[in-house]
Chains A and B, each alone.
Chain A
Amino acid sequence: MTIALALEQLLNGIQLGVMLFLMAAGLTLIFGVMGLINLAHGSLYMVGAFACASVAAWTGSFWLGLIASLACAAAAGAIVELAVIRRLYDRDHLDQVLATFALILVFSEGTRWLFGDFPLYLDIPPLLQGIVNLPGDASYPVYRLAIIAVGALIALGLYLLIGKTRLGMRIRAGESDREMIGALGVDIRTLYTLVFALGSALAGLAGALVGALQSVQVGMGEPVLILAFVVIVIGGIGSIKGALYGALLVGVTDTLGRFLLPQLLALFVDPSQAGMIGGAMASMLIYVVMAVILAVKPRGLFPPAHA
């Protein structure tokens, strides 16, 4: 194995982790502030991807599509919060799971109704096409590097928003004691809608960014949602910092596992068997990691202090 290959795989892992972070940040924020389990988060990811693909096809500009994905996902999130989620805060988690699962079905069938069964396609903007050469003879697609950069910027932005602004102070207060912050005169309902829209916009952005790498199709959000749940459980539910570290851990583990496990097994069995068994084991690897982390730290790596 060369250094170039190792570097490229590490970047692939980080890029996957960054995507997962965009999903997990919204999920964990919503859980932390409102105590709500939102299964429909994957649908908002899909909404972002479809919005970006259709606006980009219509206007010919990926950048307008990206703006549309943020706007549509945030709007969809706000509408869902006002219409459905608002009624669920005082219910137990089972009711929330049922209602948000129903939302998945509504979003999926609605999207199919609007766009049909066939996947849409989104091309990478010309500015971000091509590859860059990295030290050690490695090269890497510009677009994937751009995704990593966007993820890093969002992580920094969230850190500043939550740590340094008045809105962030309220969000943190909401996490600590919902009744008290309401009693102190903060408009808690608007705050909830805002947080939900923010989380949705991040999911929509993730969907749009990934849409250019793959195909945009109904049901694309659910596999990512499962990984995002793994991330927030590993990171500690409710913690943005945990979501960041959890996402990077899952991304890198998954990518390196897919790559290294078959090679490791090939030392013992023939390459064809190793490929098959290694591939199967690699898809279990992140769940093994999750189990080990939960066994050592039952509340995740960075559990929020108050809970």
Chain B
Amino acid sequence: MKTMLAAATMALSLGASGLAMAEPLKIGMITTLSGGGAGLGVDTRDGFMLAIKQSGNKDITVVTEDDAQKPELAVQIADKMIQSDNVDVLTGIVWSNLLMAVVPGAVAQGKFYVSTNAAPAALAGQGCNKLYFNAAYQNDNLHEAMGEYANKTNKKMFILAPNYPAGKDSLTGFKRYYKGELAGEVYTKVGQTDYAAEIAQMRASGADGIFVFLPGGMGIAFMKQFAQSGVKIPVMGPGFSFSQDVLPAIGDAALGAKASGQWAPDFDTDVSKKFTADFQKEYNRLPSIYAVQAYDAAQLIVSAAGKASVKDADAFRNELLKADIQSPRGNFKFNTNQHPIQDIYLTEVVKKDGVLTNKTVEKIFTDHGDAYAKDCKI
């Protein structure tokens, strides 16, 4: 297992950023850097490190390890980071089943966890915790947006997701807003690579639309096989199904697909344009939604570390809650359960200069929170 010690290096801005605290802060990043989900983890890591680098804060160190998308491995890494690396903040997990394995233990030991992606319902309602923040969304959010959108365009939807916490949250979220008829509701195995049996059901179901939530390699396999199957029903999904990390692999089969997201690379704000340009310059590719979420998570930690010591958990938490950052997404604030309140947009896959990317079409939700915040008592 490779351990990468990455120290933030940008001497210039040290004076400029006006750091009041010179308290060292150690961040443990556990993310997926190998296997079918590697694209998500690599974007998470790169987006995160970009913000750390831009902050110029030399007191922040980041330790990164690969969880290979395995819950048991993630738990071992978290234990090691807490016990022997003495990290103050954990972050980076992409998958909800891994997050559920790590977060309860980490916060019980007094460590902060700032999620860059996974946001299971179990940690947003009654199970919320003062030390657990989510910088991405609540799992249901993007699916809720697609449910709302499908009301306008579809009458009979076939919905599909993997059988793990985020998959259940996905279809629950979709159904919370979608009022039409369901032609089918299918849960597949996590990491499944052959979807022939499910595609056959779609063909026979008489659906007028298909909603799929299949992040990473699963989505690539599904879309390739779907395109080959000759089934002509339009496909939609949350942003992950057609995000920048999977589009090149899916190819033209994705053209025209509708998705929902808190951000797309064509966002017309200065912050977003600068972020996209910086990311492209640093890594020579377009950022995905995961990169933005991790970028914001890092910005949040950097902003809190500038004003409070992580050793003073209450003060550090209050600084995090202020969400004093410039997010490429635009509006961003924390709800009472420490999950975001933000706008959610409809996007469409288009080809721009020969590269497949997402174009923003319209806003679906403004200042959208989640359904679980009311159950969170902190």
Contacts and interface: CB of A to CB of B under 8 A. Distances in A.
Contacts of A272: 171, 175, 185
A287 to B, nearest CB: 14
Contacts of A12: 196-197, 200
Given A217-B36, A279-B188, A280-B163, A2 B230 contact: no
Contacts of B168: 276
A180 interface: no
B225 interface: yes
A276 B187 contact: yes
B47 to A, nearest CB: 17
Interface string A1-45: 110110011001001100000000000000000000000000000
Contact of A279 (B42, B186, B249): B186
Contacts of B225: 141, 213-214
Interface stretch (A56-64, A111-119, A186-194, A240-248): A111-119
22 contacts: A1-B204, A4-B204, A5-B201, A12-B197, A117-B34, A117-B35, A118-B42, A119-B220, A213-B193, A213-B221, A214-B221, A215-B221, A219-B35, A220-B193, A258-B188, A258-B198, A259-B200, A272-B171, A276-B168, A279-B163, A280-B163, A283-B189
Nearest to B189: A283
Contacts of A2: 204
7 A-B pairs closest in CB distance: A131-B230, A5-B204, A279-B187, A12-B196, A214-B193, A117-B38, A8-B200
A9 B187 CA distance: 17
Interface string B167-208: 010010001000000100111110101101110110110000
The bracket for how many chain A residues form the interface is: 35 or more
Given A214-B194, A276-B187, A279-B186, A259 B249 contact: no
Contacts of A141: 225, 228-230
Contacts of B187: 262, 275-276, 278-279
Nearest to A124: B228
Given A117-B33, A215-B220, A215-B249, 12 more contacts: A8-B200, A9-B200, A117-B42, A119-B249, A130-B228, A131-B229, A213-B224, A214-B193, A217-B38, A262-B187, A275-B185, A278-B187
Which label, helix, strand, loop or mixed, suits the secondary structure of the B interface? helix
Q: Which of A4, A217, A283 has the most CB of B within 10 A?
A: A217
Q: Which of A143, A144, A258 has the most CB of B within 10 A?
A: A258
B229 A9 contact: no
B370 to A, nearest CB: 20
A118 B38 CA distance: 6
Q: Which of B33, B204, B217 has the most CB of A within 10 A?
A: B204
A255 B229 contact: no
Interface in A80-131: 112, 117-119, 121, 124, 129-131
B34 A130 contact: no
A8 B203 CA distance: 10
B256 interface: no
Interface in A267-307: 271-272, 275-276, 278-280, 283
Interface of A: 1-2, 4-5, 8-9, 12, 15-16, 112, 117-119, 121, 124, 129-131, 139, 141, 143-144, 210, 213-215, 217-220, 223, 255, 258-259, 262, 271-272, 275-276, 278-280, 283
B39 interface: yes
A139 B230 contact: yes
Contact of A259 (B34, B201, B230): B201
Given A223-B191, A276-B187, A279-B189, A5 B230 contact: no
A8 B196 CA distance: 9
A263 to B, nearest CB: 9
A281 to B, nearest CB: 11
Contacts of B35: 117, 217-219
A218 B38 CA distance: 11
Interface string B21-41: 000000000000111101100
A217 B221 contact: no
A28 B264 CA distance: 51
Contacts of B34: 112, 117, 218-219
A240 B68 CA distance: 35
Q: Which of B171, B182, B189 has the most CB of A within 10 A?
A: B189
A141 to B, nearest CB: 5
A131 to B, nearest CB: 4
A255 B197 contact: yes
A258 B187 CA distance: 9
B200 A5 contact: yes
A258 B197 contact: yes
Q: Which of B38, B194, B225 has the most CB of A within 10 A?
A: B194
Contacts of A210: 193-194
Nearest to A122: B224
A4 B203 CA distance: 10
A119 B188 CA distance: 21
Contacts of B203: 5, 8, 139
Nearest to A260: B197
B333 to A, nearest CB: 32
A2 B206 CA distance: 12
A280 B68 CA distance: 22
Contacts of B171: 272
Contacts of B201: 5, 259
